[in-house]
Amino acid sequence: MIFTDITNQQDRRDEQEFSKDEDRIREKLLDTIDQFPSDILLEQDFRLAAVDGSGTDSLMTLDDIRIHLLSTSAVVLDTNTHSENLFAPLDRETLEDELGEQPQIDSHWHSGVRNDARTKLSDSLANIYPLKDIAALTLPFFRDYTGGQISSFSDFTGTDFEEHVPRLRDMESLISREQYLTNPAVHEELRKTSEYAAIRKILTSDLRPKYIFIDGAMSVFIHHVRHYPSMPSGFMLRELCELARQKNVILCAVSKNHTIPFAHRIAKMARDKFGEGTKWFCQLPCKDDPGGGLHIYEDRTYIPPKLAVPYLYSFSRDNRPSRIDFDRVWWLQYIFVPNDPISTRANEKALFAEIEFMSRDARWYGYPAPLALAHNSCKLSYEDLRLAREVCDDVLKELKRDGIKAEPLRADYDL
């Protein structure tokens, strides 16, 4: 019944919208990837990095207080085409000298008491993210969003943002979605901030990677009235994008799970046009790009994201297409060539050739190896969580908190 409803309602409407885009996608947005030979010797080898995080929003519960556990891992590899050890991870000592112990394990608690949630979350975010200057944190978004018209707080005078300036003075006031601060939402903000903090450490280190991969999308959720990020992590992401441009680092956000409509049809179109097994990419343009955005996501929220350029891509015939986002300001500077689609396409193909080259590890074929290694390093197993709860139990006993257990309440009933 549910699939019939989807077919009769959503799919039928989407088919009509997709039919308006088919020719443009096939002829102008889809293209193949020119692969490097397996024995290539790059003119100059380079480093690439990735950050991923995991955790739980309920390591334990004390009445209505939740304890969050975070695990965040950064990895750095070298292409090493001039040796036999392709994409060798940086040795642990060098990595941890620059970035600290890996993975980074951290814990935070969150209260459900009215008016406490925003204060407690802001304290945690301020503690996690290394940049403490709020002006330096917030201004990169406005610089990018306004095309450089706002570069200091004095530039807010006379703009639509002027009345909101008092809300841009500290971490707590940057949280404008306090009514949505559920435990999962709090955990998501903590996890993102922890990952962004790790990325910032890489950018300010002496490691100097050419690429940094982020797990997820470059979506920034914009407040519908104030027209700036509704949570601090949105400002953090834009601050990272600006810093990456200054450091000549390419930020790539890769989503294994995404909601791009008709991705399966675009993949079939690529197979029909280029042949089975061909590696391909497809830009998902916005309204400001030549030809405008696509009809299939015209009414979809945050596709494409503000200040980002998403693509679909496939490096393996066995996998469904993935999504990758790039900073739009960087993309306009280094990839897009105004009034020259041929040069733009050449830049895109060069970019995807490098990303495909680092996605050939047989263990995760078609997925960037740095991200796969970061994922494996940060993930917490059920056994890890069980041991963490045992540690909590021991600490509680030392504190004479008798009768309190770290296990979920359902464990009392073997459920």
Q: pLDDT higher for 62 or 24?
A: 24
The C-alpha atoms of residue 340 and residue 356 are separated, in whole angstroms, by: 24
When mean pLDDT is compared over 86-90, 233-237, 294-298, the highest value belongs to 233-237
The C-alpha atoms of residue 296 and residue 72 are separated, in whole angstroms, by: 35
Mean pLDDT of 77-101: 93
Q: Is the pLDDT score of 38 beyond 80? A: yes
Q: Is the pLDDT score of 402 beyond 70? A: no
Long-range contacts of 354-358 (CB under 8 A, 24+ apart): 354/36, 354/211, 355/211, 355/252, 355/313, 355/324, 356/33, 356/35, 356/36, 356/279, 356/315, 357/35, 357/36, 357/40, 357/79, 358/48, 358/77, 358/79, 358/87, 358/211
* pLDDT tens string 198-229: 999 999 999 999 999 999 999 999 998 899 99
The C-alpha atoms of residue 38 and residue 41 are separated, in whole angstroms, by: 9
Q: Tokens in use for 383? A: 């056994």
Nearest to 176, CA basis, from 220, 237, 111: 220
* pLDDT tens string 349-375: 999 999 999 999 989 999 999 999 999
Please state the pTM of the whole predicted model: 0.93
Q: What is the pLDDT of residue 307?
A: 96
* H or E element in which residue 226 lies: none
Mean pLDDT of 14-20: 85
E-assigned strands of 153-275?
211-215, 250-255
Q: pLDDT higher for 398 or 285?
A: 285
Please, are residues 394 and 406 in contact by the beta-carbon 8 Å criterion?
Answer: no
Residue whose structure tokens are 């970019």: 351
Q: Is the pLDDT score of 9 beyond 90? A: no
> Residue ranges of the domains in the chain?
23-380
The C-alpha atoms of residue 18 and residue 300 are separated, in whole angstroms, by: 13
* pLDDT tens string 222-250: 998 899 999 999 999 999 999 999 999 99
Q: What is the pLDDT of residue 258?
A: 86
Q: What is the pLDDT of residue 378?
A: 95
Q: Tokens in use for 207? A: 């490691």
Cβ atoms within 10 Å of 390's Cβ, excluding its own: 12
* pLDDT tens string 306-328: 999 999 999 998 888 999 999 99
Helix axis angle for 232-246 and 134-145, nearest 10°, is 80
Q: What percent of the chain has pLDDT over 90?
A: 72
- Give the up-direction half-sphere exposure of residue 253: CA atoms within 13 A in the CB hemisphere: 24
Please, are residues 284 and 312 in contact by the beta-carbon 8 Å criterion?
Answer: yes
Q: Tokens in use for 227? A: 């027209």
Cβ atoms within 10 Å of 195's Cβ, excluding its own: 28
Dihedral sign from CA coordinates of 322, 326, 328, 331: negative
Mean pLDDT of 328-356: 97
Q: What is the pLDDT of residue 354?
A: 97
Please, are residues 118 and 112 in contact by the beta-carbon 8 Å criterion?
Answer: no
Which residues is 49 bridged to in the sheet? 76, 212
At 1, the pLDDT band (50, 70, 90 cuts) reads: low
The C-alpha atoms of residue 142 and residue 226 are separated, in whole angstroms, by: 12
Q: Is the pLDDT score of 387 beyond 70? A: yes
Report DSSP state, residue 228. Answer: S
Q: Tokens in use for 295? A: 């009809």
The C-alpha atoms of residue 104 and residue 99 are separated, in whole angstroms, by: 9
Nearest to 124, CA basis, from 136, 135, 114, 111: 111
Q: What angle do CA 71, 363, 316 make, to 5 degrees?
A: 110
Q: What percent of the chain has pLDDT over 70?
A: 93
Cβ atoms within 10 Å of 214's Cβ, excluding its own: 25
Which residues is 299 bridged to in the sheet? none
Q: What is the pLDDT of residue 406?
A: 65
E-assigned strands of 113-235?
211-215
The C-alpha atoms of residue 223 and residue 119 are separated, in whole angstroms, by: 19
User: With left for phi above 0 and alpha for psi between -120 and 50, is residue 129 left, alpha or beta?
Assistant: beta
